[in-house]
Amino acid sequence: DALRRRIAGASLARAVVQQDNATPCPLAIYTGMSCEAADVSAVAAPPQWCGGAVHAAYDTCVSNAIQLASHPLHEAMELGSALWSLTAEASAWQMCLLSVLAVVTVRQYFRWVMWTGLAAAFLAGQLIFVAWQMAMIALSVLCVSLLNIASKVWYVLESTSRWYRGGSISRRVALRRTLQAAGPWVEWAAAARELDSLDGKDAWRAEPPPNCDRIGAATTQLKSARESNDLQALMRLLSSMLVRDYEQTNSLALHTECRVGSKEAVERLHDELAAAVKHLAGAPCASLSYRERLQLFERASVCIGHTALCLSGGGSLAMYHLGVVQALIEAGTMPRIVSGTSGGAIVAGVLAVNTDQEMLSDIIQRDIAVRYLPDRWFPPLPQLLYNSVVLGSLVDNDVFARCTRRYYGDTTFEEAYRKTGRVVNINISSSSQGGSGARTALLLNALTAPHVLVRSAVHCSCSLPTVMKATTLLAKDPETGEIKPYAGEGNTGSAPQWIDGSFTQDIPRDRLSELFHVTQTIVSQVNPHVVLTMKRHKGRATNSAFRRIESALSADVIYRLQDGYAPSLVSVR
């Protein structure tokens, strides 16, 4: 009614409706009224009659527009088509009327139209953003690939130049053969150092490392305090320097550029630290008691942590662990903490019951794997096939148990620790899965299982399904010496069965850290498939232009994948 009054007040009723007798009234297109029904004639209709017709048509239009909210969308489209037809033949008052109808229609569907438009705009923006990110990622990847190719070409040219300037190629070939056939570590290190020198690494060694001023000052202070026998000053210096990665001297970039050794400044600092510790431990001084020195070394042990040798699984390839053990023993750097899983448990068990001298003189020999024939770790191929058909597993459990007894006897973890002083850990897994669907891991050592037999732990850790059947642990009664199945300390129930420790964790770093404060691991990995997932370190102590550009482009790709496109596909450590 308010709209009708406004239209009437504007004297729109004085408009003249023009039509011929053969053409229906434009208003009838929407109202469904004929010209006769509206009392509108072609020429002679008086203005008041025309106004009455307009009022009648207006009432019908407004009524239909109000009901439009409950109509389907296609009826609204029909209304729009009708309104468009009206505009072609409408006069001024009709145009105003049609505008009112359009406003009413849009008002009814405004929220619908607004959200549809916003969704379309948002989707278009997302598509444009994704296309831009993918284009930038492709460009960065292309640039990184080109840089890698350029760096390899540069490396080939530089190596060729060094070879040309460095002397005979035959000498390099001979040194490489020496590296392949070297026996003790000293022989390998000498050949590697000479080969590094021919490759031009001496210049790199002489270059100052990062934090060179602080490293040089620390070396000078240590040397001055040691030579002047100032033990108090030496203690103060060592208390702050005996930490892991002092002044970033353990950075991988400082120890992967050459085959052996690092920068000269870093090597001088390490040598001076070792000399200072030896001097402080053995120098007589009335003003500094041995108890104070011992307290310093105990604090340093906590700060530095312990190093563990971790021997992976790998079946018969685990025998290659003995070469790593030999090199560490000969260099005097064999860790006291050792872990072994599956095939690595065989070597770890040997380390548990033999001293360093026994390892070199008796164990690390060519006949060690077949010394107790016919008992052997793995039978020949015909026997494997026979066992697979008859027993359902490749290796007979009784034969394997007899072989472990030949090598380890009935020694427990506690007895082995008392003999060798080594903390040997063997990882095993439960044969059954718990309620969460995960297997239980158990790390056996002199602390967690002191009375368990080493041979039974090795047997369980090697019990890979289809290769050997699951087996139980054996323990020795500390009072009677009786050997019986082990169900756990204080547990009198039935003993559970255990399988290969690799099912839960091949290298139990976390558990070693919890039990023995292990902060550094030496991993001997012989599983061939690990090569496919290993990431080669590409760091360099000298930050070249190639390296800086490559790092920036790689960081850009990772950022775009994480933040802009697929954050769940990329993780940065």
Each residue's pLDDT tens digit, 356-367 = 999 999 999 888
3-class state of residue 566 by DSSP:
coil
**According to DSSP H, which parts of 356-396 are helical?**
356-358, 381-390
pLDDT value of residue 56: 54
pLDDT at residue 229 tops 50: yes
pLDDT in tens, 137-167: 888 888 888 887 887 787 777 767 766 665 5
Q: How many CB atoms lie within 10 A of CB 183?
A: 10
Residue of 434 and 542 predicted with greater confidence:
434
342 is catalytic: yes
Lowest mean per-residue pLDDT among 337-346, 482-491, 514-523:
482-491
* Residue bearing the bigger pLDDT, 190 or 115: 190
Pull the structure tokens for residue 249. 């001297």
pLDDT at 340: 95
Read off the pLDDT of residues 255-267 as tens digits, 9 standing for 90 and up: 888 889 999 999 9
Residue from 262, 312, 461, 500 carrying the catalytic annotation: 500
What is residue 405's predicted lDDT score, i.e. its pLDDT? 93
Q: Which of 567, 443, 430 is nearest to 515 (CA)?
A: 443
Does residue 375 surpass a pLDDT of 70?
yes
pLDDT at 407: 92
DSSP 504-523: T-SS-HHHHHHHH-EEEEEE
- Mean of the pLDDT values across residues 212-235? 92
Right CATH number for 307-532 from 3.90.800.10, 2.60.110.10, 3.40.1090.10, 3.40.470.10?
3.40.1090.10
- DSSP string computed for 110-144: HHHHHHHHHHHHHHHHHHHHHHHHHHHHHHHHHHH
User: Where exactly are the structural domains of the chain?
Assistant: 2-108, 127-164+545-569, 208-302, 307-532
pLDDT band at 431 (very low <50, low <70, confident <90, very high): confident
Question: Which position among 140, 312, 339, 342 bears the catalytic label?
Answer: 342
Residue 563 has pLDDT above 70, yes or no: no
pLDDT of residue 531: 72
**What percentage of the chain exceeds 90 in pLDDT?**
34
What pLDDT is stored for residue 147 in this prediction? 80
State mean pLDDT over 296-324.
91
